[in-house]
Amino acid sequence: MSKFKRVALLAAGIALAAAAPIAGAAETIKIGVTQPLTGAVAASGNYVAQGAKIAESFLNASGGLLGKKVQLIIEDNKSNPKEAVATAEKLIVRDKVPALMGAWSSTYTLAVMPKLMEYGVPMVVETSSSGKITTSGNPWIFRISPTSAMEAQSFGTKVGQFNIKKANFLVVNNDWGLGASNQFQKMLKSKGIAVGVVETMDAKATDMSAQLAKIKAAGGDTVFVTTGVEQITLVLKQMKEQRVTQRVITTGGSSSPDQLIAQAGAAAEGSFHLLFFAPWFPGSAPNPEVATAFVNEWNKRGHNFAGLTEGFRGHDGIMTIAAAIKAAGKAEPKAIQKALWGVKVDGVNGDIAFIKQGPKGKESAQNIPNVYVVTIKSGKVALP
Structure confidence by residue, pLDDT tens digits, 288-341: 999 999 999 999 999 999 999 999 999 999 999 999 999 999 999 999 999 999
109 shares a domain with 30: yes
For residue 377, being part of any structural domain is answered with no
Reported confidence tier of residue 17, pLDDT bands at 50, 70, 90: very low
Q: Count the neighbouring beta carbons within 10 Å of the beta carbon of residue 382.
A: 12
**3-class SS letters over 245-309:** CCEEEECCCCCCHHHHHHHHHHHHCCCEEEECCCCCCHHHCCCHHHHHHHHHHHHHCCCCHHHHH
Reported confidence tier of residue 6, pLDDT bands at 50, 70, 90: very low
Task: Please state, in angstroms and rounded to a whole number, the distance separating the CA atoms of residues 227 and 23.
Answer: 45
Asked whether 318 and 55 are in contact (CB, 8 A), the reply is yes
For residue 384, being part of any structural domain is answered with no
297 shares a domain with 268: no
- Residue 41 belongs to domain spanning: 24-146+286-366
158 shares a domain with 133: no
Reported confidence tier of residue 26, pLDDT bands at 50, 70, 90: low
User: Does residue 81 surpass a pLDDT of 80?
Assistant: yes
Residue 176: give its domain's CATH number. Answer: 3.40.50.2300
179 shares a domain with 75: no
Number of domains in the chain: 2
In 3D space, the residue among 16, 39, 163 whose CA is nearest the CA of residue 103 turns out to be 39
Structure confidence by residue, pLDDT tens digits, 101-119: 999 999 999 999 999 999 9
237 shares a domain with 178: yes
For residue 183, being part of any structural domain is answered with yes
Burial of 61 (0-12, 13-18, 19+ CB in 10 A): exposed
User: Does residue 15 surpass a pLDDT of 90?
Assistant: no
* pLDDT for 14: 36
Q: What percent of the chain has pLDDT over 70?
A: 93
347 shares a domain with 236: no
294 shares a domain with 263: no
**What 3-state class would DSSP assign to 222?**
strand
For residue 195, being part of any structural domain is answered with yes
Number of H helices, E strands in the chain: 13, 16
Asked whether 277 and 285 are in contact (CB, 8 A), the reply is yes
Asked whether 228 and 40 are in contact (CB, 8 A), the reply is yes
271 shares a domain with 157: yes
Structure confidence by residue, pLDDT tens digits, 235-292: 999 999 999 999 999 999 989 999 999 999 999 999 999 999 999 999 989 999 999 9
User: Does residue 16 surpass a pLDDT of 60?
Assistant: no
Q: How far is residue 362 CA from its own chain's centroid?
A: 23
Q: What percent of the chain has pLDDT over 90?
A: 92
Q: What is the mean pLDDT of residues 195-210?
A: 97
Q: At what angle do helices 81-89 and 106-119 cross, to 10 degrees?
A: 30
* pLDDT for 254: 87
Task: Please state, in angstroms and rounded to a whole number, the distance separating the CA atoms of residues 307 and 40.
Answer: 16
Task: Please state, in angstroms and rounded to a whole number, the distance separating the CA atoms of residues 167 and 219.
Answer: 9
185 shares a domain with 109: no
For residue 220, being part of any structural domain is answered with yes
Task: Please state, in angstroms and rounded to a whole number, the distance separating the CA atoms of residues 293 and 191.
Answer: 39
Task: Please state, in angstroms and rounded to a whole number, the distance separating the CA atoms of residues 29 and 72.
Answer: 8
136 shares a domain with 167: no
* pLDDT for 132: 96
Asked whether 239 and 248 are in contact (CB, 8 A), the reply is yes
Task: Please state, in angstroms and rounded to a whole number, the distance separating the CA atoms of residues 380 and 364.
Answer: 39
For residue 231, being part of any structural domain is answered with yes
For residue 6, being part of any structural domain is answered with no
For residue 380, being part of any structural domain is answered with no
Q: Among 244, 275, 306, identify where a domain stops.
A: 275
The pTM for the full model equals: 0.87
Reported confidence tier of residue 21, pLDDT bands at 50, 70, 90: very low
115 shares a domain with 44: yes
Structure confidence by residue, pLDDT tens digits, 146-200: 999 999 999 999 999 999 999 999 999 999 999 999 999 999 999 999 999 999 9
Task: Please state, in angstroms and rounded to a whole number, the distance separating the CA atoms of residues 183 and 79.
Answer: 24
Q: Which amino acid is at 310?
A: E
Reported confidence tier of residue 12, pLDDT bands at 50, 70, 90: very low
In 3D space, the residue among 278, 264, 275, 302 whose CA is nearest the CA of residue 379 turns out to be 264
DSSP state of 344: -
Q: Count the neighbouring beta carbons within 10 Å of the beta carbon of residue 66.
A: 13
238 shares a domain with 159: yes
Handedness of CA 299, 305, 307, 308 (dihedral sign): positive
Q: What average pLDDT does the chain have?
A: 93
Task: Please state, in angstroms and rounded to a whole number, the distance separating the CA atoms of residues 379 and 225.
Answer: 20
Asked whether 284 and 292 are in contact (CB, 8 A), the reply is no
